[in-house]
Amino acid sequence: MVVLLPSSFLPLAAFAVGALAAPLLQSTSEAALPEISPRADSFSCPVFKNWSGARETCSGDAIIWNNKTTGGKHVTYYVLPNDATIVRSGAARRKAAVEMIEGALNKGISYYERWGAGVNVYLGIVGDHSAWGSANPTTGANGQLEHCDVIIRYPGATEDAVVTLRTLKSVVHEFYHCVQYAQNLKGRNSGTSAQRDWWMEGSARFFDGIMYPITKNDKILGRGQFPEEYDPSVSLVDQSYEAALFYHYLHNVGTDPSQINEWVAGKAGRSTVAEDLADLEKTPLFVNNWHGFAEAYVDNKVNYTSTIPINIVNPLRRVETVSLSQDVGGKLTTTSRTVGGFRFIAGRYNLPARTHYVASLAQGMSAPCSMRVAGGAWRRVTTLDVSASAAGSIDIVCSCTKAAGCSSQFVFERKEY
């Protein structure tokens, strides 16, 4: 099954600030779609790009119906009855599926249009149990975006809540990719997809998470594509969709989503990962918040909203326990550890409980560190003395915001009782 929204019904002004006095699409609560009925006369379907980027077109034997919206706008859905699953689901289910997609489309448009990123969109719904989507840009001779082709792969016969959530997230996720393309990111495709996913896919996943968060009861994880599945053992720039966790942290500490979009849009002028890293090192939004993110990650305190937490499934695995022992003759041992960190990654160190230590950060530290005792508050200090009354361990988190990585030392010294 394919449902297409031709560009004539999603005009360039769709995302222009102030261009629409009313939403482009009316919500399903305001007006129900009429019953599907065959259309005898022919019509012209747009050519669009499918999920693999290949060009396809719909055919003249499609079923059609119109949904009249506020402000005199019309959105025409072309439905191809060429998918057995969709056909067997019946007209009522097909209608419900399109209404669901329409609701997500409404939400995405109302959220993104504030940024004024004009874009023509062809939206196709394809019968597919994967419940994912894709977005592909078509540019003109001047390199500017002419239209964006969004394909949503949705099995119309299912009522599965997880599939529904994936589909809703896919609509607003792929729509944000169209916003990215409209902000002149078409030429920003050097390097492998893995090298740019942390900001292209990560930011899109952030926005679909704002609009459709995952709750603890959603069995949607397992593919490594959500912020819950962030991998703390690798750099932020080596993440993919799961890099959204950092953007959610920025949002938690007061960063407006428009600032994140503005940062993403600004990446259009950079063409290599090396340039990205050099830019990142100079970006206060990232540098000033990275260490706080490392602390929040250890504490599992990054949220979708004030009431919906992001339940991180991968604890910080780079944990090193530092052992100190007395030499023969009773001399105290001083142990040094190199704080080695790759670009935008955190390291976690631990001293065993019920032992008295002084932990000192060596001069010239290039990686900021925080210390705490027995799970208490994080303190960004250069020296932390665990007194005789403290029975807990020293937990230390150091993070690096240098493109070339960080290397320095801190010193652990066991004290006499």
All structural domains of the chain with their residue ranges: 1-186, 188-317, 319-414
**Mind listing the pLDDT tens digit for each residue in 204-247?**
999 999 999 998 766 788 766 899 999 988 888 888 999 999 99
pTM summary value = 0.77
Low pLDDT (below 70) residues in the chain:
1-95, 116-118, 122, 124-131, 154-159, 184-195, 217-218, 223-224, 268-271, 273, 317-343, 350-367, 381-393, 407-417
Phi then psi dihedrals of residue 264, to 5 deg:
-60, -45
Q: What is the pLDDT of residue 158?
A: 59
- Distance from CA of residue 208 to its chain's centroid? 7
Non-local CB neighbours of 80 within 8 Å, separated by 6+ positions: 1, 2, 58, 59, 61, 62, 63
CA neighbor of 109 nearest in space, from 177, 175, 32: 175
Non-local CB neighbours of 173 within 8 Å, separated by 6+ positions: 133, 204, 205, 207, 208
Domain covering 319-414 in this structure, CATH number:
2.60.120
Q: What is the side-by-side order of every strand in the sheet holding 3-4?
A: 3-4, 74-79, 63-68, 37-38
Look up tokens 């607003």; give the residue.
172
Q: What is the pLDDT of residue 208?
A: 97
